[in-house]
Amino acid sequence: MENQFMTYKGYPLVRTDNEIFFGYMCDPYVIRMVIEKQQEENGVAVSRKVRLYQMSTDEKLNPIEAIVKSSERESLYDALDVAVTWLERANKN
């Protein structure tokens, strides 16, 4: 059976606890999102603070050196929109 990943605008999302990796590891960059704050609304946990990191996929770099850009957003939806823009710009080059 093939592994099927959830996608958003054509990019895969892989979540572990409060961390989401977005993008293809074969591309030059991926986005790491860390959900720092959640609020329960109608019995569902909703992200209220998400930190984004654009990271190089170059395995020679340590994780700190791999970070090329960072930002913070108040919702997962807003964070995903920023992430898509970053990936589309960065992976075109």
pLDDT tens, the chain, 93 aa long: 456 889 999 999 999 999 999 999 999 999 999 999 988 989 988 888 999 999 999 999 998 999 999 999 999 999 999 999 999 998 776
pLDDT at 92: 75
pTM (2 decimals)? 0.87
- What are the residue ranges spanned by the domains of the chain? 6-90
CB 24 within 8 A of CB 86: no
- What are the backbone dihedrals phi and psi of residue 89, each rounded to the nearest 5 degrees, phi first? -70, -45
pLDDT at 91: 74
